Amino acid sequence: MKIKSFILAAVFSASTLMVFAQKGEVASARTSYEKFLGLKEANSMLLALPNLKTAKASIDKAVVHAKTLEDPAAWTYKALIYGEMALLDTVPATSKPLIEEAKAAHKKATELDKAGENKANLENANSTIFSQYELNQGVKAYQTSNFADAYTAFNNALNYRPGDTTITYYAGLSAINSKNYKAGIQSYEALIKTNFSANNQIYLDLSRLYTMEGDTSRAIAVASEGATKFNDTQLATQEIELSLMSGKQKEVITKISDQAQKNPGNKLYPYYLGIAYSTIGESAKAEEAYLSALKIDPNFADASTNIGGIILNKGINLFNQANQLPQNQQKEYEAMIKLGEAELEKAFPFLIKSSELDPKSRIALENLKTYYIIKKNQEKVTEISAKLENL
């Protein structure tokens, strides 16, 4: 062999060895990283850490050398290694630069990996490492009542692990605690489209959130959907209460009756039925419903107040009708007055009891005062007037 040719061959071989040496750093980083993962999964972190440090030393050499500077595998392993280091670092001041380097390496690896050979590892960096880092930051922020930052961190975690129901729940909870109700609604709306295990409670909270935001129509719709899906009493009650408050008494009567049949020991459903019937002017059915509630709980103050008021009004209406009769209908007048007095006396036990059960109820006291005004008992009128003034 000619001496010149030998020299050229020697130079070529040395160059090749340099490339292999740098490729060897990538392989070394991969091997050390895999050993770290195995020991980490075996809960042997003390043994695992030296391997992570070795992996970092190797990958730091590989990503700066001209021969492997454009190697997607090198940048992929830098993203993985630096990401794991950030997860282990509990000090934000030092962990943040590590995670930022990991993300930058991930971006470069993604750009270089045209053939997709590192796709699985890059996806793993997103779904396992980066998402976990943000999740950890969110938990720390939440535990220190920094709810706005917690929401941001949990939302960042969702960018790497989209659709994760637990993280979505954490994001919603953080938003609500930071009084960012619109963001909380957005998170919970996403949750009810999944099979999240606590969705019956999520439906209830979501309905309440819409109520707080003034969207009663959507609040009722959410409660109704959840009540049907889970056969949930709380959601059914929420739908009923909101419907009664928003003037949908007639529409909700059937649903109240259904719940009353399903829960015969629950005094609220006949009570709500009484409210619904009373509002639409069916006082006889309202009275019957309130009596059913009082059979379940004889000391149900609100039911006593409402039935007392209904019967009292019935007596007052009879008195008013009697006073409108012409003078030549004296018998009819006397008969109607008698009926009115009977209703008044029928109302009295409920009026007394409701004022005793809830002495600070203005409605109960006003009803009782009206009774005594009609009965011309000035002493009692004065006594109750004093109580009202002191409320």
pLDDT band at 2 (very low <50, low <70, confident <90, very high): very low
Q: Does the structure show a pLDDT above 70 at 17?
A: no
Tell me the torsion sign for CA atoms 247, 253, 258, 260: positive
pLDDT of residue 23: 62
pTM above 0.85, yes or no: no
Q: Taking the C-alpha atoms of 192, 197, 200 and 203 in order, what is their torsion angle to the nearest 10 degrees?
A: -30
Q: Does the structure show a pLDDT above 90 at 3?
A: no
For residue 22, give the DSSP letter.
H
CB–CB of 268/237 below 8 Å? Answer: yes
Q: What is the mean pLDDT of residues 298-311?
A: 97
pLDDT of residue 24: 85
Query: Cα separation of 195 and 145, whole Å?
Result: 28
Q: What is the mean pLDDT of residues 47-71?
A: 94
Closest alpha carbon to 129 in 156, 168, 89, 160:
160
pLDDT of residue 284: 95
* Least confident interval from 13-27, 66-80, 272-286, 336-350: 13-27
Q: Does the structure show a pLDDT above 90 at 273?
A: yes
Mean pLDDT of the chain: 93
pLDDT of residue 4: 45
- pLDDT tens-digit series, residues 108-140: 999 999 999 999 999 999 999 999 999 999 999
Side-chain half-sphere exposure of 90, counting CA atoms within 13 A: 2
Q: Does the structure show a pLDDT above 80 at 15?
A: no
Query: Cα separation of 48 and 123, whole Å?
Result: 23
Closest alpha carbon to 156 in 140, 174, 135, 173:
135
Q: Does the structure show a pLDDT above 50 at 9?
A: no
Tokens coding 210: 């819409």
Q: What is the mean pLDDT of residues 143-159?
A: 97
Q: What is the mean pLDDT of residues 304-324?
A: 96
